[in-house]
Structure 1
Amino acid sequence: MIIGMTAAVWAADSKININTATVEELAKLQRVTPKLAADIAEYRAKNGNFKTIDDLKKVKGFDDKLLKLNKDLITVGDSKKN
């Protein structure tokens, strides 16, 4: 049981924060091309931090399918800091 809990904590800590990630880090997400990663970073620079991971769908090319593939891999970080 402790091992499972440790793995869950590690997984949460290893998520990519879409509000602070570099283009290179964003491109490591499933089926996210370098161009789409750059578009995500550009959108963030122009519009500010993402409030929820669902906000990624506002970026052209990032659809429901991509969100479903990556939802367990990403975070917007601590909402109190955003």
Structure 2
Amino acid sequence: MSFAAWTAERININTADAAALEQGLTNVGPVKAQAIVTYRRQHGPFLRVEDLTRVKGIGTATVERNRQRMTVGTRQAPTAAPSRQDVPAPVPRR
């Protein structure tokens, strides 16, 4: 794999296992990688890469150093509000 192809592929911090995090991120060893996975299991997915600083041992310097290597993936768009036709009309009270 060429360097350009490798850098184009970002690591999804919400789905990557500890080995992938350790291998793909700078200054993230086995302990920090496992801490990321454990935090994610306990608290749910990261909404932004900056949320990674909530993990013990991960600071803003680590996030900034790896910003271009990480992603949180795509989020599902919220479901659309029901159309006016789908909402029943109120029944007048007597």
Question: Please, which of 52, 65, 76 is the counterpart of residue 80 of structure 1?
Answer: 76
More helix by share: 1
Q: Provide the TM-score with structure 1 as the length reference.
A: 0.82
- Structure 1: runs of 5 or more not aligned: 1-6
- 1:34 partner letter: P
Q: Which whole-Å CA distance do the structure 1 matches of 2:76 and 2:28 have between them?
A: 28
TM-score normalised per structure 2: 0.72
**Larger RCO (CA within 8 A; separation ≥ 6):** 1
How many pairs align? 72
- Same amino acid, percent of matched pairs: 39
Residue 44 of structure 1: how far off its partner (Å): 0.1
Unaligned runs of 5+ in 2: 78-94
Q: Cα RMSD over matched residues? A: 1.8
